Amino acid sequence: MSKIKLMSHLVAGYPTDEIALTAARALIAGGADILEIQLPFSDPSADGPAIQGACTEVLSRKYKTADGLKFIETLHKEFPETPIYIMSYGSLIYTPGIKTFCKKAALAGVKGMIIPDLPFDFDEGLTQACKENGMVNIPVASPSMSKERIKKMANFGFPYIYAALRTGITGTDTTIDKDTLDFLKDVAEGGSKIYGGFGISNGQQSQALADRVEAVVAGSVFVRTINANRDNTEKLYEAVKAKASEITHS
């Protein structure tokens, strides 16, 4: 049984920083290689009900971007060898100034930025600001993009590209079929390493993707697992760890 690399998604502060930290520990114990931390956002464009609900709950506590960065800093201090990526939306990083935001993120221990609604070729200076701060900008490719645009992104020189495995919102199961694998091949054409996700919730899916991606990305499945066990941190830890292990060791 070979190990499959996993980028696991967590919403900062959900349902509390303490519980989110327990979940992060469980993810790493279960084999997660990268932590993708979402800064809660009020109007997501691709998040399904689980992640959107989590963001809404965290924001109802008046949770700020600064709180999210503090949570990331705590994670980085405990797991300095584990890359941490921020996932959020353009307005959240554009408002304080992209250079300012990237500097703060890097100081907190962030290694990469995933901002789905910033086009890769009109990114308001994000790629450059990431480079200046020792981070990478990871653009998002979607099957709804034209072949020409996918080809352009694939040959743009990004070290990594996040391939969303289908259109729509995340959280519902994704079928890994020939079209999915052809899409991944197109996105990888220029030599970028590919992170593949959107609706990944079990080991069978991760096994189908393993040979085509640098890492499998899973998010909503962990948010649902956290929510189902939020009243018992021991059960939460074991459930999250077990799900991460299933996805990484299938």
Active site residues: 36, 47
Burial zone of 148 (CB within 10 Å; 0-12 exposed, 13-18 middle, 19+ buried): exposed
Angle at 238 between CA 7 and CA 84, to 5 degrees: 25
Counting every residue written for the chain, the total comes to 250
User: How many CB atoms neighbour CB 5 within 10 A?
Assistant: 17
β 215-218/136-137 pair status: unpaired
How far apart CA 241 and CA 236 sit, in angstroms, is: 8
